[in-house]
Structure formats: structure tokens, C-alpha cells
Amino acid sequence: MKIGIVGIGHSKFGRRDDVTVQELAFEPFVEALIDSGLQREEIDATIIGASPVYMTQRSIAGPVTEYLGLNPQPVWLTEAACSSSASALRTAYALIKSKMHNTVLVLGVQKMLENPTSEILKIMGRTGDVQWEAPYGTTFANYYAMYANAHMTKYGTLSEQLAEVAVKNHYYGSKNRKAMFQKEITVEKVLESRIISSPLHLYDCCANADGSAALIVSNEEISKKISDTPIWVEGLGAATAPFSLLTRPELSTLTSAVEASQAAYTQAKIDPTNIDVAEVHDCFTIAEIMAYEDLGFTERGKGGEFVENAYIGGKVPINVDGGLKAKGHPVGATGCSQVVGIVQQLRGEAGQCQVDGAEKGLTHNVGGHGQYCLVHVFSR
Amino acid sequence: MLVVMASIVSSMSFRGEVMKQFGYRDYISQSKVGVQLLKSLKEGKLEGTQCTKCNIPYYPPRAYCRECLSDGNIIGLIFSGKGTILSFSEVQVPPAGFERFAPYTVCIVELDEGGRLVGWIDPGSQSLKIGDKVQVKPEVIEGDRVVYKITRGTSPDVDVKAEKVAQNLVTGSNKLQGKVAIITGAGKGIGREIALKYAREGAMVIVAARTLSDIETVAKEIKQSGGEATPIICDVGNVESVQQLIMKTLEKYETIDILVNNAGISKSALISKMTDDLWNSVINVNLKGTFNCIRAVIPHFSTKRPLGGKIINFTSTAAKYGNVGQSAYSASKWGVIALSKSAARELATYKVNVNCIMPGYIETAMTADTPSVYKEQTIAQIPQMRIGYPEDVAKVAVFLASSDSDYMTGSILQVDGGLRM
């Protein structure tokens, strides 16, 4: 039995002081419901992807489903930091495959900006090791900066190459009305921006954001019945790595991403050259460069030179909806947002950022600073 | 200035401040290995752990081996402090609570023996490169504050080899919660280790021995770790002194639950050259001393309510196999076995268990003077291929003091790595 994505929805990402978390969840839900043509009663279960530590409302699965009118169907939360909603999709896949449910709503939602930036940095820092690392004021920018430093020292990667990733993603973000930032930037602007954690500049870092995205996932029979263009989940890879840098064997790669992608490619019976379009977890520019290598789009150490191949028309167009960099990164929503981007591409509905004839797409959603990674492969 | 430039400081006291601001529990001191770590840092030692079974060193220290998932083989390991910078980054936008420290540079140091630590480079990342060699040395400043002082390069005068230490780094599971335990010979070696371990298991410990400074040090160590201990001077060979020990204990705690007759001496001479005094002194402490303590505690054990108690006596593999030059010691220790079995029969009616521990070759002050040739020969005979540590014995002493061994009495538990099976 194949598993299809039959409905997608995406809220505007950014500062969303105008909505509660329930209202924020409602926006992509309604879009996805209309997109699928299903009725609420036909959704058997809901899985929320979110990182609850940022939000005032605790145990949001209950309040959200009540607001969406999805009682009494079951709901629960999956949490894997920034890869919470990719994990939710994996769970939904297993539930449908096991025939426990036929149609599942996967909804990633996150309100982060209820907290000031310094507080978010602190909360996020605790996703790292609170015993040996966080007490030294480590932040996520700091972790990725140490990866960047290691990558630069080992492979000669340059700050300009990091900046080019930001330039590309902001370019595509400028065309995405749901993105937090819709302005193009230049390499100079990136390099002139202030240092957050050396060598990463402000524009090397994605922004904390509020946002939500939804997917309606169904079994093969329903998918074919209700949709002319179901997008199939062809491969799911998930892997972990030591969560502490003190035990991470290598700092210039995310081994979890390597393992997860290999599992996904194997299940989908493809290799990286078959991917037509990809959404990768560019929480920092170095993360996208490491992803090029970890996913096998280029050789190890050549990520810095690959950026030009990640534009539309290049080898593998990557983050052509703006990525986390320009869209913003509401951690729990990002995994679903990436899938929405790929589904639009495979359906041919991506507008001016459409990759012509895209048949196979990939999402790469990293949790924490690499302790979790989920890679999904989709096809038309 | 150059010296300052070259130092990397990772401040433990700073951690404390931040912990408060963060509302964290102090994860270092509250982790299973944390109390020991803080203590070691204050002593200027970079102490991690090692699994003796899997031979894997851990820094930061781990209470459980990642490979065999057991805490049974974890011992302390002093790291030389030499290492390499793996990566670093200067934080200019800090998280809440760190504003006044920014900018600061976080770096990861890979230690030569394995393991890593995260700390701060002071005053910054200028001229620092990945791959720079560094040396880490914890130092106490301003009383209670501990810093890792990490200096670039390596200096020969601190060429410390990794050194194993026998310590229990794992806090207990409260198996002896609320019990009152007397441990004789608790000033050092096995007795000291038992005292520390019993305290970690929740017991109120009477640290008894002849040397005041030793027992005060042990009691202080226990108290600093949050345990309860009282040092009482006692010469087990002296009946009056033993009676004082029991009386003072009852005055303070009103009950006694556990008596560990660990005090012992070893004086060697061939039989042909053994003087009466030497023979008598060994028998008087090792055998008569054990008898003195048992006899003195019986009035309490026979009248306490509810009934119940544990007596743990110390024999030796030397009793079983004899030893050249150790006739008095071997005889005294064999005598302890017979004494224990008789006591086990007599005291069973009071629900008092009397058992013996028979240690093999254990690394203590008593065995420190052993000629290295003999030491190597002995270790070569041990199937488990290593010397025993006081910790190995203390674990068994916890078992015999706990309710886990309630249906055991008059038995001998051999703790010798298989040396004299």
C-alpha cells in the first residue's frame, strides 16, 4: 500500500502576535482540508508536531484539535526539537500502513516569539547538553558556528560561500508570500552584518518565527479516489547521533543525516542523482552546505562550491521556497512546511519558483544540532 | 598579558551563578558522578571515569559504561589534561543570563586520553586555531571557586600520566537509609571506602579507628557530600575503648544496626623469628578485637526492638592459603571465620546476621609496601587480571549490610577476582 499526501496548507510565517496557537493551527488546517476535499469527520487522527517548551499553552494537542473541531478523534504530540513535524509524518505513515487509521492530519505548529530572543536562545540551548555545555552559554548559532569552523579548517570552506547560501535562499524567499523575509540580499550585506557567533553573521542564521503547516495523509485507496494528483511518500529515513558535542565523532558532518538519507534512498530505490528538488534544513548557512554533502548531492568537502548548483536550473534546486533562512523557522512547523514546498513542486503548483518537470523531491529535517534527522523522499 | 592571552578559563563558579539564574538544578553536583567530580576538581585533578571491563575512558565522567551498560566496572581515572582544540566560536549574541559575559569564546577540547570538555577561552578567539595543543589543569581560586586553566602548548613539568584511582563515583540507591553503622578501621583503605559507600547509601556512619586525623578526614568528606558521620577514636584491641565506642554510638543515635569489624593489622615475620609480642599484637587486634566488638554490641542487639542487625567480619585469603611470614595474620584471620560461624549460630535468635568478607589482593596502604615483583606475580595469578580496589570490597559490604542478604549468615564471601577460588 502506498501512502499519499492529499492536502497541504501553510500559514504566513513570521511574527504572529495576531493569533493564538489554536488560530495559528487553524490557518493551514483549513487550507489542507479544502485542498483535499475531505470532511473533518473523515480525518481519523491528528498528530501535532511541535516543541512545547517555547509555548505558554502546554499540551497543545488537546486545545488545537478542540479548536479545529476534530474531537473525538485521537490526537497526540510528537517532539523531536526542530524535526518534530517530520517525526509526526513518519508516525502518520506507520499508522496508515498498519491500517490503524486511514487518513491522518499532520500539523506542525509553533509560536516562538512569545519569548524574547535571549530567552529563545536559552530555551533552544537547552536542546543541547544542559550538564556540560549549556552552562557555558552555548547557543545553536554557537554549535553550528563550531561546525562551520571545523568545516572551514578541514575543507577550506569560505565565509563568502556561506553567504552565497543566504543570498540564494533570500532570493527565493522574495518570491514566497508566506515567507518571513521577502527581500533579496547580497554577499556583501551578509558579510557586513554583525557576528552572532563567529564565523556566523546575522544573515547566516535563520530567524525564530511563529508559523504552522499542515498535511493530510491518506492510504492509497483514498488518495487515488479523492485526488488527481496525490503525492506519494516513497522513502522515509530517520536516524540519530550523539546529542552532545562531547561525544559527536565528527564536527563537520551530521552523521544522522547521512544515515537517514541512505535509508530513505534505499526504501525509495533511488540515489541522490534522481532528486529533482529538495528542501534542506538550512537553520544556518553552514547547515545547508553540510546537507549538500550529507545527502550525497556533492562530495564531502565540496559543499561550499555547490551553491550555484542549488539554484533552479542547477544540479539539484534546493530551498527554492526560501528555506528556513528566508521563510523563518518556527521549529515545530518546519518539517511540514518543507513537505508543503515539495508537494507544490511535484504537483507543478510552485508558481515562479517551479522546477520544471520535478518528479522526485526530498525533505531533510534536522532536530537539535543533529541529534535527530529525518529524510523523506516523495514522488509524483 | 601573554600569559593571560594564553589561558582558557572555564569557570565552575560561573556555572553556579548561571544555574541559579537558569533555575537549573546543579547538574554537576547532582549527577551520579558529580560530587566526586567537584571534589576532584578542587583537588586539582581532572577526574573522569573508566570502565575497566571495556577499557574505555570517559571525560566527562560517566556512571555507566556506554559499551557494557554497567556501573559495576566503573572506576575513577585521572586525566593528564593534555588535549587539542577541536573547534571554537566566539559568542556575541548570548542567551538569557549570559549577557554580561559576552562576548565569550566557547571551545571544545579533545583530551589525549579520550573524552572532551567544553569551556571558555579567555580573552577570546584571536590567534586560536583548531588543532592547537592545550593543557588543562583545574585550580581553586578564592576559596570555593574552581576553574579549568587551559594553557596552549604542553609543558614538561606537568607531564602527568593517566592514573587510575579507586573510588566509587556512583551515588547509592539508599539501601541503608536510616541505618546506624559502626565501621572499625575506617580511617583508610577498605574501611574508609565502606564508610563513604555506606553514607552514600543513606547510613549514619560511625567512623572508628585509632588515628583521630584519619577518621576526622573521612567524616568530613562524608559530611561535605551531604552524608552523616561521627568520628570516634577506638582501639579494638582494648576492651574499654570498644565499650566506649558502643556507648557513644548509642548516646548519639540510640541504636546500632550494622557493625563492620574491619580493623586489622599485618605484621610479618617468619615463625622462627616471630616474637610473642608480635604474635600477640596481631591476634589481639584481628581476632580478639573482632570478638571484643561483637561481645560489646550483643547487649544492644539482644534487647533492641524490632530485633535485627548485621555483623560483617573481615577475614583474608591469607587465612585460606597461608602466607610465608604471615603466620599470625593468617591464623588470626582463620580464627575470625570460626568466631563468625559461632556468632552466627548464637545471634540468629536475635535476627542478627554474621558474615565474613574474604578480600584478596586489594590496593590499600597495607599492601602498598609489597615489593613490585611480588605484586606483579600476584596479579598474574588473578583470573580477572587486576588488583582489587577498596570499592570492590565496599560493594559487597553494602550487600551484607542490606536486607538483600537477610537469608545469609555464617557465610564467607570471597572478593578476590578469583585469586584463591
Same domain? For B343 and B397 the reply is: yes
End of a domain among B97, B131, B165?
B165
A vs B, Cβ pairs < 8 A, gives 114
Lowest-confidence segment of A13-22, A27-36, A168-177, B225-234 by average pLDDT: B225-234
Q: Kindly state the average pLDDT of the residues A211-215.
A: 98
**Same structural domain for residues B141 and B207?**
no
The torsion angles phi and psi of B357, rounded to 5 degrees, stand at: -110, 135
Which residue in the set A135, A141, A147 is minimally distant from B19, CB to CB?
Answer: A135
Q: Say yes or no to pLDDT of B175 above 70.
A: yes
Neighbours of A278 (CB within 10 A): 28
pLDDT at residue B171, as a whole number: 47
Scanning every residue of chain B, which has its alpha carbon at the shortest distance from the alpha carbon of A144? B89
Contact by Cβ (8 Å): B61, B149: no
Using the Cβ of A71 and the Cβ atoms of chain B, whether some distance falls under 8 Å is answered with no
Q: Closest Cα partner for B390 from B354, B419, B360?
A: B360
Long-range contact set of residues B245-251: C-beta below 8 Å, sequence gap at least 24: B245/B182, B245/B184, B245/B206, B245/B208, B245/B293, B245/B296, B246/B182, B246/B293, B246/B296, B246/B297, B246/B300, B249/B180, B249/B182, B249/B206, B250/B300
Cβ contact, residue pair A198, B108, below 8 Å:
no
- In CATH, the number for domain A3-115+208-226 is 3.40.47.10
Give me the mean pLDDT over the A305-325 stretch. 97
What residues are paired with A216 via a beta bridge? A7, A105
Q: Which residues of B touch A121 (CB under 8 A)?
A: 93-96
pLDDT in tens, A51-77: 998 888 889 999 999 999 999 999 999
A324 at interface of B, judged by CB pairs closer than 8 A: no
CATH number for the domain including B405? 3.40.50.720
Which of the four pLDDT bands, split at 50, 70 and 90, describes residue B173?
low
Provide the percentage of residues in chain B whose pLDDT is more than 70.
82
Q: Tell me if B106 and A138 make a contact (CB, 8 A cut-off).
A: yes
Clarify whether residues B220 and B278 are in a common domain: yes
Inter-chain touch B28–A131, beta carbons under 8 Å? yes
Q: Is residue A1 packed enough to be buried (19+ CB in 10 Å), middle (13-18) or exposed (0-12)?
A: exposed
**Residue A112 sits at the chain B interface (C-beta within 8 Å):** no
Same domain, B256 and B370: yes
Residues of A annotated catalytic, as ranges:
82, 329
* pLDDT tens per residue, range B47-93: 888 888 888 888 888 888 888 888 777 777 888 888 999 999 999 99
Note down the domain range covering B378. Answer: 180-415
One domain for residues B75 and B213: no
pLDDT at B95 over 50: yes
pTM: 0.68
- Per-residue pLDDT for A13 more than 50? yes
Residues of A in contact with B97 (CB under 8 A): 122, 137
pLDDT of the residue at A129: 84
Listed range (A123-127, B39-43, B157-161, B408-412) with the worst mean pLDDT: B157-161
Which residues in chain A (207-246) have CB-CB distances under 8 A to chain B? 245-246
Closest CB to B88 among A146, A194, A196:
A146
Residue of A nearest to B111 (CA): A246
Ordered alpha helix ranges (H), A174-219: 187-192
Residue A335 clears pLDDT 50, i.e. is over it: yes
Mean pLDDT lowest among A244-248, A347-351, B316-320: A244-248
User: How distant, in Å, are the alpha carbons of A3, A329, A376 from that of A101?
Assistant: 12, 30, 21
The pLDDT score that the predictor gives to residue B233 is 97
- Best probe of the B interface among A53, A131, A159, by most B CBs < 10 A, is A131
Q: Quick check: is B210 in a domain?
A: yes
Are residues B206 and B286 located together in one domain of the fold? yes
Let me know whether B131 and B225 are in one domain.
no
Closest-CA distance, B92 to chain A, in angstroms, reads 5
Is residue A135 scored above 80 in pLDDT?
Answer: no
C-alpha grid cell, residue A234: 516513497
A153 touching B (Cβ < 8 Å): yes
Residue B171, domain member (yes or no)? no
Q: Which of A139, A194, A245 sits opposite B118 (nearest CB)?
A: A245
Q: Is B90 on the interface with A (CB under 8 A)?
A: yes
Residue B59 inside a domain? The answer is yes
pLDDT digits (tens, 9 = 90+) for B273-305: 999 999 999 999 999 999 999 999 999 999 998
Mean pLDDT, all residues of chain B: 83
Q: What are the sequence ranges of the domains in chain A?
A: 3-115+208-226
CA gap A153, A158 in Å, rounded: 9
What are A47's three cell numbers?
498528530
Beta pairing class for B46-51 and B56-58: antiparallel
From the list B59, B329, B361, B389, the catalytic residue is B329
Q: Is A299 helix (H, G, I), strand (E, B) or coil?
A: coil
- B142 is a domain residue: yes
- For residue A119, what is the nearest residue in chain B, using CA coordinates? B96
**Once rounded to an integer, what is the mean pLDDT over residues A35-41?**
96
Instruction: Say if B134 falls within a structural domain.
Output: yes
Pair B132, B196 in one domain: no
CA geometry: angle at A345 spanning A342 and A347, to 5°? 110
Residue B161 or residue A203, greater confidence: A203
A141 at the B interface (CB within 8 A)?
Answer: yes
Task: Indicate the range of A113-127, B1-15, B63-77, B370-384 predicted with least confidence.
Answer: B1-15
Per-residue pLDDT, B149: 66
Q: Does residue B71 sit in the same domain as residue B210?
A: no
CA of B98 vs chain A CAs: smallest distance (Å): 6
Inter-chain CB proximity A122 and B19 less than 8 Å: no
Residue A120 has pLDDT above 80, yes or no: yes
Q: Is A263 on the interface with B (CB under 8 A)?
A: no
Nearest Cβ partner for A251 among B86, B98, B101: B86
Number of domains in chain B: 2
The secondary structure element, H or E, covering residue A104 is: strand A103-110
Contact A198 B89 (CB under 8 A): yes
The reply to whether residue A121 touches residue B94, judged by beta carbons under 8 angstroms, is yes
Band of the pLDDT at B1, cuts 50, 70, 90?
A: very low
- Say yes or no: B421 contacts chain A, CB-CB below 8 A: no
Residue A149 is nearest to which of B27, B88, B93, comparing CB atoms? B88
Collect all residues of chain A within an 8 Å Cβ-Cβ radius of residue B125.
198
Query: Which pLDDT score, from 0 to 100, does residue B397 have?
Result: 97
CB-CB under 8 Å, B90 with A198: yes
Q: Is A249 on the interface with B (CB under 8 A)?
A: no
Is ipTM over 0.85?
yes
Residues B276 and B371 in one domain: yes
Is residue B420 included in any domain, yes or no? Answer: no
Least confident interval from A118-127, A336-345, A347-356: A118-127
User: B13 to chain A: which residues are within 8 Å by CB?
Assistant: none
Q: What pLDDT, in 10s, does the model give residues B116-143?
A: 988 876 656 778 889 988 887 776 644 4
The number of angstroms, rounded, from the C-alpha of A225 to the middle of its chain's C-alpha atoms is 29
Average pLDDT over all residues of chain A: 96
Calculate mean pLDDT across residues B22-33: 49
Q: What distance in Å separates the CA atoms of residue A288 and residue A77, rounded to the nearest whole number?
A: 27
Residues B161 and B115 in one domain: yes
**The pLDDT of residue B172:** 54
Contact B63, B33 (CB under 8 A): yes
Residues B213 and B68 in one domain: no
Please name the member of B10, B95, B120 whose beta carbon is closest to the beta carbon of A139.
B95
Q: Which of B93, B99, B126, B150 to mutate to test the interface with A (most CBs of A within 10 A)?
A: B93
Contacts of A122 by beta carbon, 8 Å cutoff, 6+ apart: B22, B95, B96, B97
Contact B94 A147 (CB under 8 A): no
Q: pLDDT per residue over A71-106, tens digit each?
A: 999 999 999 999 999 999 999 999 999 999 999 999
The pLDDT assigned to B40 comes to: 75
DSSP secondary structure code for residue B410 in this structure: S
- State the average pLDDT over residues B155-175: 45
Contact flag B91-A246 (C-beta cutoff 8 Å): no
CB contact under 8 A, B94 and A247: no
For position A122, what pLDDT does the model report?
Answer: 86
Dist. CA A124–CA A196, nearest whole Å: 15
- Interface residue B322 vs chain A (CB under 8 A): no
- pLDDT value at residue A255: 96
Over the Cα atoms of chain B, what is R_g? 25
B253 as an active site residue: the answer is no
Whether residue A186 is predicted with pLDDT greater than 50 in this model: the reply is yes
Q: In Å, how far is A33's CA from the nearest CA of chain B?
A: 39
> Which phi and psi angles does A349 have, rounded to 5°?
-115, 25
Domain contains B394: yes
Radius of gyration of chain A from Cα atoms?
19
Answer whether residue B307 is part of any domain. yes
Task: Give the span between the Cα atoms of A315 and B153, in whole angstroms.
Answer: 46
Of A268-277, B2-11, B108-117, the poorest mean pLDDT is in B2-11
pLDDT tier at A298, thresholds 50, 70, 90: very high
Could you give the C-alpha distances from A58 to A31, A64, A77, A89, A232, in angstroms and in order? Answer: 25, 11, 11, 21, 33
Distance between CA atoms of B69 and B282, rounded to whole angstroms? 43
